[in-house]
Amino acid sequence: MIDRNRWGEFAPAIARWESTLGRPAPEPSEPGREGRRLSARFVEWMMGLPDGWVTDVDISRTAQLRALGNGVVPQQAAAALKTLLMEADTSQVMVA
């Protein structure tokens, strides 16, 4: 059961993504030198990557966030490839 107090208006979206991924959302923030800061593990989860895909690599948090920020969400990449392949297939049929 999703904690509406924790996620507020985002609770339904968090619950759907937890269900899709089959694992609970990690803490969205972690302690930092100047208060709370974004958790790289939460970003990894939001992108739908396997747990630890980037965060279990022995690199700094900054490097983890950079890698995640420069990455592609797998579901978006799959949708883009499917669209491109369907368009390529259609254009070949039209040429023939």
Block means of pLDDT (10 residues each) for the chain, 96 residues, are 80 95 95 95 96 96 95 87 84 54
The closest of 83, 49, 85, 84 to 67, measured between CA atoms, is 49
Output the pLDDT for position 93. 52
25 SS3 class = coil
Phi and psi (nearest 5°) for 31?
-65, 140
Output the pLDDT for position 62. 95
The number of beta carbons lying within 10 Å of the beta carbon of residue 28 is 17
